[in-house]
Amino acid sequence: MADKLHFSLVSPARELFSGKVDHVIAPGTEGEFGVLAHHAPFMTTLKNGIVRVLEGDTVKMRIYVRGGFADVTPAGLTILAEDARNLTDAKAEDVDAEIEAVRLKLLALDAGDTKHFALQEQVAYLEGIRAALAN
């Protein structure tokens, strides 16, 4: 039996996953990367995208992350995401409703309001989730 990688994914809201897996593929800002047990230590930033958790060659879980950091140590891989959503639990119609609600908030803002950028980033994140659900 091959060694397992300890993987943990945490967002400010909660821990989405912690356990032993075979392989994790994550969206690094310098490109997608994979981590197996006994990987060389490194730290990198993440871009918005899908973290795939594999058992053997089978993707067992897909989690959409909004940026963050990945830290590989001898103890395993920890991802600290700005926001994250398990795609298994997400429903396209719910995400569409969230996108519409954020767009309405954007329309209600004054032109110089400092909240524009944060709300635009939220729309981009939600649209990324919506696109991931379609694939």
pLDDT of 1 higher than 80: no
* Sign of the four-CA dihedral 135, 53, 122, 30: negative
Whole-number percent of the chain with pLDDT over 70: 99
Tokens matching residue 43: 């730290």
Q: In what helix (H) or strand (E) does residue 32 lie, and over which residues does it extend?
A: strand 31-35
The pTM assigned to this predicted structure is 0.90
Tokens matching residue 57: 């060659």
> How confident is residue 110, by pLDDT bands cut at 50, 70 and 90?
confident
How do beta strands 23-28 and 31-35 pair?
antiparallel
pLDDT single digits (tens) 43-86: 999 999 999 999 999 999 999 999 999 999 999 999 999 999 99
